[in-house]
Structures are given as structure tokens and as C-alpha cells.
Structure 1
Amino acid sequence: MVAAALVLAVGGCGSGSDEKADAPEQDSAGATTTPARPPSAELVRWVGDMCASTAALGNIRKDSAADLKEIRNPDRLGPTAELLAVGYLSRTPTAVEDVERDLAGLDPSGVPAADRLLDAWRKKLKRVVSALDELSPSAGFDDAEGSAAGVDRHVQSLTPPDPDLPALTKKDPRLAAAYRRAEQCAPGWQPAGETASPEATGPLPKAADGKNTDACSDGACEVLVTSTADITANGVDVHVAVSDDYVTFRTAGTLMQLGGAGGEAGFGDELKATVVAHNKDGAVLRFTTP
């Protein structure tokens, strides 16, 4: 009897151990938990794209603040505040529009809270883009600091909606897992910089007429401009300003900015200007009559 009872007791303990091994895991409070499934590749891409756009907007805010500071205190030997403002007013709206376009093309994530975040970003960007569309770059010539400060106020409003993506990951295991896997969400990640073209890094070619802008009087010349120049070509008075990023052409009725080699500016039926080459040292410009 004693032996039989002992066998039954041992058998009972063994059976209980097997059942516990097959049971779902429990947390410290005794609640049953189910292991989280890995996130889908689509969700990882979605989260990565959201992180990339958020980083891009952070860079735009940072660059805008730096540009405004430079416009307020331009280098005495560099471009004037007006020229700096025109360049800033030309490129900043484009940068914001690029992010708006990226987020507009983002499909729903399938996570309601994340999709609400996307919708909030889109509304912010739409409001800012609409406001920036109303301002012409030429305003920089009339009020350099005021026009730039107005744009910067709109840009600085592009902060992440609340709750932002990191906050949402603390409440949703799927988002948290996707966030960990998306390389764009890693600390310190930045969008890859654009590769400079050979024209932007190599030496400028020799201009046929050097710096002699008087050679342009008949409407046909090729000159080097390293900062600013007032050129009269075929009866058209053109003020040219060269910065690291743009070549600005201004006449009594037009204002145009070109970036990089190959750009063309037309002045009615009287004159055309082509940027032959452009880098940090200046620009080689060719003027011709159409």
C-alpha cells in the first residue's frame, strides 16, 4: 500500500509538470501573455518613411533658423542680406513641399493611431505650404529680414504632432517592433546627402571674355562672375548675383534663380542667359540673343 501510494504521488507530480510546460506564459501579475508577432515588411517601411520625413523636417527647421541668422547678420564680404533672403525664400518652400509630397504618397499603415499621426502631419504641412505659396522670393529685395522671419515662423511650426511616433511605439507592440527594425528610426540617422555634380566640384572653365562684362553689350558674350555684376546686354540691364547654391538674375521686371550648370534664363525676345558652369568660386555665364 505504501509503495503504490508513492508511485501515484510521483506520477501525479510528473503530470502536473508537463501541463505547466505547455501552458501559455504568464506575466508577474499572473495574466496570460501571447508572444508578439514580428511586424510586416510593409509596416517597417511605413515607419521608416515616417521617421525619414520627420528627420527631414527637423533639418529644414534647423537650416531655416541658421539662414535667418545669416540674413540678419550677413558677412561683410559675402552676399548682401537681400540676396541671401531671395535664395532662402526660393529654396525653403520647395524643401517643405518635398516632404509634403512624400507624406501624401504614404499609404495607411493599418494602425489607427499611426494613421491619425500621418493625417495630423498632412494638415500641418498643407497649412504651411499654402502660406508659403503666397510669398514671392522677390520680397527678399524689399524686406530681407521681415520676409525671411515670416517664412521661418511657418517653418518652425512644423514640429511633430502629439503624440509623436516614439510615443505611439510605447503603446503599440507592432509599431515598437517596426520602429526598432527601420534604419531611418535609429538614433542619429540622417538622410543621405546628394552627390555633387562634377560641375559643382571641379574648376570653372575659362570664360571667353573673362570678367569683361562690357563685351556683352551686343548681346553675345561669355563672362565670369564671382559675386555680383551689373551687365547690359542687347539693351537689357541685368543684375547678376552668384552664391554657393544659386545664380540670381534680376531685371526691371523679372527675377530668376538658377542652380547648377545648364540652367537658362530668358528675358523676352531680347536676351537669353545660360549658366555654363557654377561652383563656390563663381559662375561662367553665356549671354546670347534668341
Structure 2
Amino acid sequence: MAARTGILVLAVVLGAAGCSASEGDAPATEPPSASAPAPAPPPASPKLELVSWADRLCAATRLFDEKPDRPKASGNPAELPGLPGHGEMIEQLEWASYLNEIPDFTQASIELLDGLGPEPVAGGADLAGGYRSALQRLLPEVAKYRADTGSASADAVGKVAELVAALKTDGPTVSDLRTRDPLFAQAHGAAANCGPQGMFPRPGQGVPTRTSPVPPPQQTSEAPPLPPAADGDNVGACFDGTCEVKILGQTPIPLDDRFRLPGMLLATPEAPSVQFTGAGQPVTGAPGVPVTLLGTITIRVVAVRGQAAVLNFAPA
């Protein structure tokens, strides 16, 4: 009896030890915690070279998307204050300006495309080539309508306007490249000439190339008003070459034949400068930067505010 009791006690002890070992062999474990996803890297920013390339490309292709205003044949052209009877001459001056600007814009656009340099984005060279070939076909077609004030006609203006309206690239468009390449789309948004304030290029002048968006000016105070002009807005007072007038928007200014200009001068203010057309290639004046045309008359820009200016004329 004592022997059986000892055996039973030993079995109980061994069983307990076995249970303890079993529990130790399979300890309870918690499921591994899921690690947080790594933060996404910040989007790449376009290099300055790509922004500059986009800026020049947009200026070179502006004629495809934005058509210069076509002067109209009103049948009742506006007269100049103080100089009645010159409405028809004003109209012809506007026609001549248009007929000469379109070939200039076209030639300058080709020059910009020729000078774009290596493509900074895949497909850039093919895109530029499609625009270039279309402009090269357009140039001789519009250049044959170049005219001075005396020979410009509404018919020629209409034909040139039709040619410009029909202008299409021979390859992919800038919009196609923006859709395909997000980095180029960013560069396009940062380029000044790709926005609404972009400009048409002119032969030999290139375009201002900005490599970052221009921040809006901080308006600490309102711009001062234009100073008074001795002759008010009476541009007819300039006929003898001596006047000081205020102009608003594109304004024809009559000058006597002795100044060797073709009848009238076209002044276009756009702060901070004024462009003068009618004596060959357009020239630009600004406050502190007078211009002399054909060695016969000097124009001093007294002040410019937006699309208004005060001009002072004097014989050279």
C-alpha cells in the first residue's frame, strides 16, 4: 500500500512538472503591431532651366493661341481732337501697324524656337519643331502684305487675319506636353510668358525670361495720378512737333511731313514704358529714357500709369 501511494505521488509530481514545461514551451504572444506607412516624398520641383525653357517656348508659340487684335474698317473712322479730317489716315496707320507686326511676331517666334537649346524634357525638340515648321510656312505668306501707311488696306488686313486664324502646329501642342509631363506643367505655371501677361516677341529683342513667378506688388499706397499735360488730350497740338499731351491707350499722333514720318505716329503706353510705331522698327521710351525718331523729333515720356501717359514732343 505504501509503495502504491509513493508511485501515485510521483506521477502527480511529474504530471505537474510536465504541465509547467508545456506552458513554458508555448508562451502567449501578442500579434505584431502594424508599422505606420512611410510619409510620401515631397513632389519634385522643376529646375530653373526648365522654367526658362518653358518661358521662351510660350513666347515663341503665343501666336498659335492668342491672336493680335485685328483693326476694323469702320467706314466712319474716328477723328482726332483738334485735327478733323484725319480719321481715314488714323485707320490706315492702324492697318499698317497690324500688317507689319504680324510678320515681325512670326519672325521673332522662329528666332526664339531656333534658340531654345537642348530639350530639358522628353519630346521637347519634336514639339518645338512642329511649331517652327508651321511658322516658317506662315512667314512668307504674311510678309508679302507688309505696307506703309499709304498702301495699307482693309483687304490686306483681312487676308492676314485669316492666315493667322488658321495657324496650327505640325506636331503636339504645349497643352499636350503639360498633360503628359507633370514637371513641365509645374514649370509652365511658373513661367511669366505662359500666363495672361505674356508677350509677343519682336525680331532681335528676345523676351524677358523669368525663372520664378513674379510675386504681386505690395501696394503700400496708391500710385500718384498723372501730372497735367500742357495741351491736355489734344494730340492735334503735336502737328508742329512741339506739344505736351496726355494719351490713353493706343493713340495716333499727327506730325508734319518735315519730320519724315509717314503721316502719323502710333503711341502705345503700357507701364512702365511707351512704344512708338511709324518710323521703321518700333522703339520704346520710358521716363528718363527719351527717344529721337529719324533724327527729326525727340519724345520724352513724362510719366506712365497703366495704359495712360504724358508725352512731351520737341524738334530734335
Q: Distance in 2 between matches of 1:41 and 1:257?
A: 33
Change (3 A) 1:230 1:161: same
**Coordinate RMSD, CA, aligned:** 4.7
Q: Distance in 2 between matches of 1:231 and 1:177?
A: 53
The TM-score normalised by the length of structure 1 is: 0.57
Of residues 55, 64, 75, the one that matches 1:48 is 55
Q: CA deviation at 1:106?
A: 0.8
1:130 aligns with 2:140: yes
Which portions of structure 1, spanning 4 or more consecutive aligned residues, are displaced by more than 6 angstroms? 210-213, 278-283
Of residues 287, 297, 306, the one that matches 1:275 is 297
Of residues 108, 115, 140, the one that matches 2:118 is 108
Q: CA deviation at 1:247?
A: 6.3
User: 2:176 aligns to what?
Assistant: 167
Q: What secondary structure does 2:298 align onto?
A: strand
Change (3 A) 1:239 1:122: closer
Q: Distance in 1 between matches of 2:267 and 2:56?
A: 30
Letter in 1 for 2:48: A
Letter in 2 for 1:126: Q
Letter in 2 for 1:68: P
Unaligned runs of 5+ in 1: 26-33, 195-200, 214-221, 250-255, 266-272
Alignment size in residue pairs: 232
**TM alignment of 1:83-94, pairs within 5 A:** 83-94=93-104
Q: What secondary structure does 1:14 align onto?
A: coil
Percent pairwise identity: 18
The TM-score normalised by the length of structure 2 is: 0.53
Q: CA deviation at 1:165?
A: 2.4
Unaligned runs of 5+ in 2: 1-21, 81-86, 201-206, 208-226, 232-236, 245-251, 269-275, 302-308
Of residues 10, 13, 32, the one that matches 1:14 is 32
- Judging by fraction of residues, say which structure has more helix: 1
Of residues 130, 150, 155, the one that matches 1:146 is 155
User: 1:67 aligns to what?
Assistant: 70
Q: Distance in 2 between matches of 1:74 and 1:165?
A: 41
Q: What secondary structure does 2:126 align onto?
A: helix
CA contact (8 A) 2:129 2:171 kept: no
Letter in 1 for 2:296: T
